[in-house]
């Protein structure tokens, strides 16, 4: 028969073992979380610095502030998109965050630099798309080019807050569809224009 003291010591030992294993598991989990967070922050910092490097900022203090603004923006966007909020609540939070973000940038950068930040966050799709349309349809009128640019800039404002690269491109796709409809109503045959352009690209004429 196991003596009372032996049983007490046995159970005490089991408790110590449990606490040790539980504590070790908790520490391991905490370390993994910290490692993941460090890697995540580094990824966002690298992405942000790539954008900020295009702004030609000579002041190291301003450079760091703008980089931090971008990193925090990316993190805040992630929190909103990963939340279980309804779509309406998410959209409201995204709108408020967007306004705060632009306000912070405006305190550090010129309007031209802010545009470059927006382009950096959306992979320069505005210019690529605008140039593509102008090359594809050389007969575009000035007012049609202005409308194209207006819609691309509007798309960029939405795309900046999107959850992924795919979602960003979806916003531009939506506005490109709107512009195609606009051109069709003005007598353009978009399918024919695109086919002619692709053939010219293949033949090396563009």
For 83-96, how does the pLDDT look when each residue is reduced to its tens digit (9 = 90+)?
A: 999 999 999 999 99
- Report the C-alpha gap between 162 and 172 in whole angstroms: 11
Calculate what percentage of the chain has a pLDDT beyond 70: 82
User: For the chain, what is the mean pLDDT?
Assistant: 89
pLDDT for position 205:
61
182 or 203: which leads in pLDDT: 182
pLDDT for position 34:
67
- Report the C-alpha gap between 31 and 84 in whole angstroms: 26
pLDDT for position 36:
80
Calculate what percentage of the chain has a pLDDT beyond 90: 77
Within 10 Å of residue 73's Cβ, how many Cβ atoms?
Answer: 23
Asked if pLDDT for residue 100 goes beyond 80, the answer is yes
pLDDT for position 94:
97
pLDDT for position 192:
93
User: Could you tell me which of 23, 174, 157, 12 has the C-alpha nearest to residue 97?
Assistant: 157
Give per-residue pLDDT as tens, 21-36.
555 555 455 555 667 8
Which position has the token pair 């086919």? 195
pLDDT for position 114:
98
Mean pLDDT of 104-123: 98
CB-based contacts of 172: which residues, under 8 Å, 6+ apart? 122, 125, 129, 152, 155, 156, 159
If pLDDT is split at 50, 70 and 90, which confidence band does 82 have? Answer: very high
Give how far Cα 107 sits from Cα of 24, 104, 118, 122, 124, Å.
47, 5, 15, 21, 23
Mean pLDDT of 200-205: 79
Residue 179 region, left (φ>0) first, then alpha (ψ -120 to 50), else beta?
A: alpha
Give per-residue pLDDT as tens, 21-74.
555 555 455 555 667 888 999 999 999 999 999 999 999 999 999 999 999 999
Give how far Cα 142 sits from Cα of 138, 147, 177, 197, Å.
11, 9, 19, 20
């Amino acid at each position: 028969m196991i003596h009372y003291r032996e049983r007490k010591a046995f159970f005490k030992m089991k408790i110590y073992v449990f606490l040790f294993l539980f504590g070790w598991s908790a520490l391991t989990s905490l370390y993994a979380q910290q490692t993941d967070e460090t890697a995540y922050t580094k990824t966002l910092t690298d992405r942000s610095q790539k954008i900020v490097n295009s702004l030609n900022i000579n002041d190291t203090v301003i450079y760091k502030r703008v980089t931090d603004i971008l990193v925090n923006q990316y993190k805040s966007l992630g929190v909103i998109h990963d939340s279980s909020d309804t779509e309406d609540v998410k959209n409201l939070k995204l709108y408020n965050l967007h306004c705060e973000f632009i306000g912070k940038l405006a305190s550090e950068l010129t309007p031209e630099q802010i545009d470059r930040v927006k382009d950096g966050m959306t992979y320069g799709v505005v210019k690529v798309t605008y140039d593509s349309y102008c090359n594809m349809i050389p007969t575009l009128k000035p007012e049609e080019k202005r409308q194209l640019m207006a819609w691309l800039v509007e798309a960029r404002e939405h795309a900046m807050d999107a959850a992924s690269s795919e979602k960003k491109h979806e916003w531009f796709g939506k506005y490109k569809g709107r512009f195609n409809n606009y051109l069709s109503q003005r007598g353009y045959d978009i399918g024919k224009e695109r086919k002619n352009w692709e053939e010219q690209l293949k033949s090396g004429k563009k």
